[in-house]
Structure 1
Amino acid sequence: MAFDKDCFYCVKDNRLTDIMIRICDLEASTLYLFKEQTYRGRCLVAFNGHKSELFHLTDEERNAFMKDVARVAQAMDKAFSPTKINYGAYADKMTHLHYHIVPKYEGGPSFGGTFEMMPEPKVLLSDDEYTELIEKVKRNL
């Protein structure tokens, strides 16, 4: 599996753990919960292995990765009942293949538009609240 020593998704150091909490490993990826929770339930699915584009994956890798993305989105739909789920695959500077899975709620932040990557002010939760969100996702995977 490809590895980039400068990539926090590969290294899994404090650059990653300061902003996300690992939920679990999936077939081709790792699932994280964002600590910033403006969009209740916002998660990220990071491919296991350093690749920067979907077309860099083999057919099997791509199918497994996209299956993980769909599985997470379905779990989030069951767990949080959002109006819509947004998907973001931005990586101009952090070139590790990953998808933001962002539940959106009618009347909530950025509904009808693009979700904010780093919204201000930050919505941070207690450890118990993070645990509750993680358990809801896990129960529905």
Structure 2
Amino acid sequence: MTLHPQLKKDCIPLGEFNLCTLLLLNDSNYPWFILLPNRENISEMHHLSADDQQQLMSESMYFSRCLEQVFQPDKINIAALGNVVPQLHVHHIARYTADASWPAPVWGAVSAVPYTKEAIVTINDQLSDWFKCNLDLDQDISFLWFEKTW
């Protein structure tokens, strides 16, 4: 699947669920991840097949539980806007009352601060540890890590 140029520029690919690629937005102001369904020419959720819609929801809920337990945020923001990047993608952002833009939306609030390599490794390890303990194959959830190129 072709990754939109803006996502390619702004994100770090971590791995793949059954349907979605998991991306880390390269902005250390927030634990901000994106689920990107691996389907060409899809811009809206209702354009997915019924099975893919259900799979996207399962992967989104699974990853939301991960965010909640790993990052312990005050709130999780989930959004699919598509105004800048028309390729269907779903933002999952762990928010804190003390974060850079609380309680406002994150978009355009502050300049992005790229992650250090060490921080990316730490996040990758935290997610990996959680996935190992919580991968429930009965729910059609599996995950394959990409080769670490960061």
TM-score normalised by length of structure 2:
0.78
Amino acid at match of 2:17: L
Q: Deviations over 1:84-130 (max 9, x none)?
A: 000121112422111110110112222222222x4533212211111
**Match for residue 60 of structure 2?**
69
The count of aligned residue pairs is 130
Name the stretch that deviates more: 83-92 or 11-20: 11-20
Is 2:29 the partner of 1:31?
A: no
Q: Is the 8 A contact 2:80 2:89 kept in 1?
A: yes
Structure with the bigger RCO (C-alpha within 8 Å, sep 6+) is 2
Q: Is the 8 A contact 1:23 1:31 kept in 2?
A: yes
Q: 1:15 Cα shift? A: 4.6
Helix, strand or coil at the partner of 1:43: strand
Q: Deviations over 1:35-80 (max 9, x none)?
A: 11211x2100001112111111121110001111111111111111
Helix, strand or coil at the partner of 2:91: strand
Is 2:131 the partner of 1:131?
A: no
TM-score normalised by length of structure 1:
0.82
Q: 1:29 Cα shift? A: 0.6
Q: Is the 8 A contact 1:33 1:44 kept in 2?
A: yes
Looking at structure 1, the residues matched to 34 and 81 of structure 2 have their Cα atoms a distance apart, in angstroms, of 11
Q: 1:20 Cα shift? A: 1.0
In percent, how many aligned pairs have the same letter? 18
**Match for residue 98 of structure 2?**
107
Residues 1-141 of structure 1 aligned to structure 2 (within 5 Å): 10-12=1-3, 15-39=6-30, 41-50=31-40, 51-116=42-107, 118-141=108-131
